[in-house]
Structure 1
Amino acid sequence: MTIRLTWKRLAAGALGLLLLGMGFAWSGLFPIAASSGHWAITDWFLHWTMQNSARTYSSFQTPEEVRDDRAMVSAAGHFHQSCEVCHGAPGVPPSPVMQAATPPAPNLATTVGHYDDRELFWIVRHGVKYTGMPAWPAGDRPDEVRRMVGFLRRLPGMKAEEYRALTAAPPGPLSGCTGCHGTDGRGRGQADIPVIAGQNEQFLLSALRDFASGKRQGAVMQVAASGMSEAEMRAAARHFAELPGLRAGTLASGHAIAEHGLPGKQLPACRSCHAPGKNAPVLTGQHPAFLAARLRQWRGDDAVTDVRKPRDPMAVIARRIPETEIDSLAEALSRGDTGSAPHR
């Protein structure tokens, strides 16, 4: 007897399979125990699917610049705090507890070569579902992701001694801070790490609170600050504020925007806030590259449109600074030059 296939029969068959599958899921017989692992074909299929997805989405969900090899300390510090326990590191084996996950985290020194820079950026930024790989906790900090991609590219040839040098911190209650900022608070010579020695104590305390609450974005600092108590934050802010370093002086920079702003664009002068007696941070002596990077990060915050009600008023102010002026302004603010310069 010949059975004719009709749309009704196909629909009934599909509904039957769906009900069968739902019944199996309801029964609880599906093995979800991590101890059972995956079948080899399941493991291959899931990994193959992940690689294909990373390749496809990274082609249109990544910025033009996806890698920064110039600053390793902050990326290595974050890797040490957040990634090492699962993936291991040069000279440091991964936690056997985390390796009991299904799937276990791979040895990145041997697997990063399977991906190009755009794919690595996408994976670090967005994470991978159904694994222990989280998305980057600070969504608006692509600069941090670029530095992590640069660090990951160094892993295959990195020796244990180099890794320890990048992540070493003197023992003590402030080891979570000094690993990146250094015992002198000057950022270990890294252009992406601010000089906090001699900075305003209240500003440092407010920054720690904002990072811990998530009000301020920055994966490295959010991880570091979230584990600190209020007393520890106060002690750290006091300690670094008392170190010799940045001292508020007259911000008479030889740059028109710093001295006069741009009245036609409703851009106030930098010195109107960043001056002695103000709550804004001290800029003189700060790394020019750090200042320029922060201004560009604020310029990218398009969610803030009203300077009177912003998440951070600097986001609005920075967008009023011409892009062509940012680097020269950062240099002038860092030096604290005196004198005057014509408007450009």
Structure 2
Amino acid sequence: MKRRLKELSILLAGLGAIGLFVLVSGIAPINASGGHWPITRWFLDYASDRSVDFHSSGIEPHPLDQLGMIRLGAATYDSNCRWCHGRPGSPAPVVAGHMTPSPPYLPGTPLDKEPRELFYIVKHGIKFAGMPAWPTQARDDDVWPVVAFLQQLSQLDAEAYDRHVQVETESDSPVEQLAAQACAACHGTSTSPSAGPRVPLLASQSQAYLEQSLQAFKTGARHSGIMQPIAARLSDPQIAELAAFYAAEPDVERETTTPTVAESNPADLDEVVERGKSLAHRGDRQKKIAACAACHGPGTIQRSDDYPKLAGQPVWYLTQQLELLQRRARGGTERVERMHSIADKLTAEEIEALANYYAQLPLAE
């Protein structure tokens, strides 16, 4: 027994010495051009699949058939993902094809992943594969539209893909062309619909607020894996031009929205809206909640351009923003901390009431 232990010790010491020699000498190639050995590729793929399955096992998928989910996911994919994974109608990206391992070309390839697994990969990325993590870990709601789109991608041809991500404009104005390329697929314009209730409508917001928000996304002070990469690619003059463009837009074309939480019973909806109206205009002295309208409208009071107008924004979006503020997961401009103490005092019912009240108002108020 002692002899075998001695032989095993010598073997392990020899293997350690060989490993140390390989490490120190640098003779092991790390060049991507050589690719992986088949056994190495199999081992890494197998280990990755098992890890994703294990760590995503407790994730509950969100509903992926909500209005605008696929279009929002498509716009995000086109902005952030197609550079490595390709798009329908185009060959696999050349540069990405020379990575080791190379990113899979996703168009036309059915994915053998469950939604929870896709969510985990998109949010957390994959080590040693060049697959980055989502730009912010603070928000999961940004990730699910991408999952919804990925489940549909293999069924899309180039024309169907372009319908999701391209907004045509007949204008020769550089700023309108920039808006069509960078913003309109999600936020819409006066001639193109927005991508549903998960995104804010930018038309009629003040130029100051829009510019400050884009700068906050650009620096990462406001969290969004969708918006941060887009804002990071914009120059300061482009941000100012886009802010001025959307501030001058009177309204935005909208698709049929999903029913609000109380629309199944109009009487209940009226009651919810009235409760929201009272809270928006009078606040709640007992809970020390200031009236929302003093900063966010509507009304004739002169308000600062640094605050967003809430009238006409979708119920889902308004609800989500208040919940993000409660969790300190939204971020924002330097004034966002003023909203934390207010959001903390709101119950789920009060958030529902406020969102429904503001959503039924005309956008420009």
- TM-score computed with the length of structure 1 as normaliser: 0.85
**How much does 1:142 deviate?**
0.5
Q: How does 1:192-341 map to 2 (within 5 A)?
A: 192-245=198-251, 255-275=277-297, 276-278=302-304, 279-301=306-328, 312-336=337-361
Equivalent position of 1:135 in the other structure: 133
Q: Specify the code of the residue in structure 2 equivalent to 1:173.
A: L
Is residue 170–residue 178 contact of structure 1 (8 Å, CA) maintained in 2?
no
State the Cα deviation string for residues 279-311 of structure 1 (Å, max 9, x = none): 31111111222111222222232799xxxx986
* Structure 1 residues 112 and 296: CA distance shift in structure 2, 3 A: farther
- 1:4 matched to 2:3: yes
Counterpart of 2:185 (choices 163, 172, 179) is 179
Residue 170 to residue 189, structure 1, CA distance change in 2 (3 Å):
same
Give the 3 Å change call, closer, same or farther, for CA 261–11 of structure 1 in structure 2. farther
CA deviation map 1:224-267 (0-9, x unaligned) = 11111111111111111111139xxxxx9853321233333333
| Alpha-carbon distance in 2 for matches of 1:143, 1:130 | 26
Q: Which residue of 2 aligns with 1:45?
A: 43
Once residues 312 and 186 of structure 1 are traced to their aligned partners in structure 2, the CA distance between those partners, rounded to angstroms, is 34
Alignment of 1:59-138 (within 5 A): 59-60=57-58, 62=59, 64-70=60-66, 71-109=69-107, 113-138=111-136
Alpha-carbon separation, structure 2, partners of 1:78 and 1:320 = 33
Q: Which consecutive residues of structure 2, in runs of 5 or more, have no partner in the other structure?
A: 170-176, 253-273
Counterparts of 1:157 and 1:282 in 2: how far apart (Å)? 39
Contact 2:108-2:156 at 8 Å conserved across structures? no
Residues 140, 217 of structure 1: 8 Å contact kept: yes
SS in 2 for 1:219: coil
Instruction: Indicate conservation of the 8 Å contact 1:267/1:320, yes or no.
Output: yes
List per-residue Cα deviations over 1:129-178 (Å, max 9, x = no partner).
Answer: 00121111021120111111111111122232221011103462332122
Spell out, residue by residue over 1:3-46, the C-alpha distance to the aligned partner (whole angstroms, 9 max, x if none): 6144x775565444333212202211111111111111111110
How many corresponding residue pairs? 324
Distance 2:283 2:151 in 1: 42
In 2 relative to 1, CA 197–18 (structure 1 residues): closer, same or farther, beyond 3 Å?
A: same
Distance change in 2, residues 1:196/1:313 (3 Å): same
- Quote the Cα distance in structure 1 between the aligned partners of 2:122 and 2:351: 29
